[in-house]
Chains A and B, each alone.
Chain A
Amino acid sequence: MKAYLIATAIFSVLVSLLVILLLLYATFPKEIPSKVIRIVTLLTLIAAIFSITLQHRALRLAKKEERKITLIECTNCGYKLERPFREGDYVLKTLGRCSCGGMLYVDSIYTEKK
Chain B
Amino acid sequence: MLISSWDSLWYLISTILFIIFILFNQRIQVFLWLQEINQVLRRLENMVKKSKDILISQLKSYGISSPNLSHKISELLEFFVISPVERDPFGVLRRLEHLLDTERQRLHEIIRGLVPRIDGIRIRNIENMIEAAIALNSLYKLTRHYALLGKKTKSVFMIMQLEMMLPQITRFAEAYYNAIVSFKDGLPIGDGVGALVVGKLIRRNKAIIRSVKDNTVIAEANIFNRKVFLIKALGPGGEVGKPGKVIEELVDNHARHDQHVARIIMIDAAQKLEGEKSGEIVEGVGAAIGDQGPEKIRIEEVATRYGIPIDAIIVKESFEEAISPMTKEIADAANNVVNRIYDIIKTRTKEGDIVIVAGIGNTIGIAQ
User: Does A pair with B?
Assistant: yes
Shortest beta-carbon distance, A13 to chain B, in Å? 29
Stretch at the interface among A15-23, A46-54, A103-111: A103-111
Q: Do the beta carbons of B328 and A92 come within 8 Å of each other?
A: no
A94-114 toward B: CB 8 Å interface, digit per residue (1/0)?
Answer: 000000000001011111100
**When chains A and B are docked, how far (Å) is the Cα of A105 from the Cα of B328?**
18
Q: Collect the chain B residues with CB atoms within 8 Å of residue A71's CB.
A: 331
A38 adjacent to chain B (CB < 8 Å): no
Q: Collect the chain A residues with CB atoms within 8 Å of residue B365's CB.
A: 89-91, 109
Shortest beta-carbon distance, A69 to chain B, in Å? 8
B188 adjacent to chain A (CB < 8 Å): yes
**When chains A and B are docked, how far (Å) is the Cα of A91 from the Cα of B203?**
11
Contact A105:B334 (CB < 8 A) given known A90-B366, A91-B196: no
A47-82 toward B: CB 8 Å interface, digit per residue (1/0)?
Answer: 000000000000000000010110100010000000
Shortest beta-carbon distance, B196 to chain A, in Å? 6
Shortest beta-carbon distance, B229 to chain A, in Å? 18
Contact of A111 among B186, B196, B203, B328 (CB under 8 A): B328
Contact of B236 among A66, A85, A91, A107 (CB under 8 A): A91
**When chains A and B are docked, how far (Å) is the Cα of A69 from the Cα of B328?**
9
Q: Collect the chain B residues with CB atoms within 8 Å of residue A108's CB.
A: 188, 196, 326, 331, 334
Q: Do the beta carbons of A110 and B325 come within 8 Å of each other?
A: yes
Contact of A91 among B185, B324, B325, B366 (CB under 8 A): B366
Contact of A110 among B235, B328, B367 (CB under 8 A): B328
Q: Collect the chain A residues with CB atoms within 8 Å of residue B186's CB.
A: 87-90
**When chains A and B are docked, how far (Å) is the Cα of A112 from the Cα of B326?**
9
**When chains A and B are docked, how far (Å) is the Cα of A108 from the Cα of B279?**
15
Shortest beta-carbon distance, B238 to chain A, in Å? 11
Q: Collect the chain B residues with CB atoms within 8 Å of residue A88's CB.
A: 186
- Chain B count of residues within 8 A CB distance of the other chain: 23
**When chains A and B are docked, how far (Å) is the Cα of A4 from the Cα of B203?**
46
What residue of chain B has the Cβ atom nearest to residue A91's Cβ?
B366
Number of A-B contacts (CB under 8 A): 68
Q: Do the beta carbons of B203 and A110 come within 8 Å of each other?
A: no
What residue of chain B has the Cβ atom nearest to residue A113's Cβ?
B327
What residue of chain A has the Cβ atom nearest to residue B187's Cβ?
A109
**When chains A and B are docked, how far (Å) is the Cα of A108 from the Cα of B324?**
15
What residue of chain A has the Cβ atom nearest to residue B186's Cβ?
A90
Shortest beta-carbon distance, A95 to chain B, in Å? 12
Q: Do the beta carbons of A91 and B367 come within 8 Å of each other?
A: yes
Would you list which residues of chain B between 303 and 357 have a CB under 8 Å from chain A?
324-328, 330-331, 334
Q: Do the beta carbons of A68 and B187 come within 8 Å of each other?
A: yes
Q: Do the beta carbons of B325 and A92 come within 8 Å of each other?
A: no
B216 adjacent to chain A (CB < 8 Å): no
Shortest beta-carbon distance, A63 to chain B, in Å? 13
Contact A92:B199 (CB < 8 A) given known A87-B185, A110-B331: yes
Q: Do the beta carbons of A91 and B199 come within 8 Å of each other?
A: yes
B368 adjacent to chain A (CB < 8 Å): yes
Q: Do the beta carbons of A109 and B368 come within 8 Å of each other?
A: no
**When chains A and B are docked, how far (Å) is the Cα of A93 from the Cα of B368?**
9
What residue of chain A has the Cβ atom nearest to residue B329's Cβ?
A110
B191-224 toward A: CB 8 Å interface, digit per residue (1/0)?
Answer: 0000010011011000000000000000000000
Contact A112:B328 (CB < 8 A) given known A90-B366, A90-B367, A91-B365: yes
**When chains A and B are docked, how far (Å) is the Cα of A19 from the Cα of B249?**
77
**When chains A and B are docked, how far (Å) is the Cα of A46 from the Cα of B368?**
58
Would you list which residues of chain B between 140 and 199 have a CB under 8 Å from chain A?
185-188, 196, 199
Q: Collect the chain A residues with CB atoms within 8 Å of residue B331's CB.
A: 71, 108-110
B235-269 toward A: CB 8 Å interface, digit per residue (1/0)?
Answer: 11000000000000000000000000000000000
Shortest beta-carbon distance, B282 to chain A, in Å? 21
Q: Do the beta carbons of B367 and A109 come within 8 Å of each other?
A: no
- Report 14 cross-chain contacts, Cβ distance below 8 Å, ordered by A residue: A68-B187, A69-B328, A85-B185, A88-B186, A90-B186, A90-B236, A91-B188, A91-B199, A91-B365, A92-B202, A92-B203, A108-B331, A109-B331, A110-B188
**Extra 13 A-B pairs, beta carbons < 8 Å, given A107-B200, A110-B327, A111-B327:** A85-B187, A90-B236, A90-B366, A90-B367, A91-B236, A92-B200, A92-B236, A92-B367, A92-B368, A109-B187, A109-B326, A111-B187, A112-B328
**CB-based closest 6 A-B pairs:** A90-B236, A110-B331, A92-B367, A108-B331, A91-B366, A111-B325
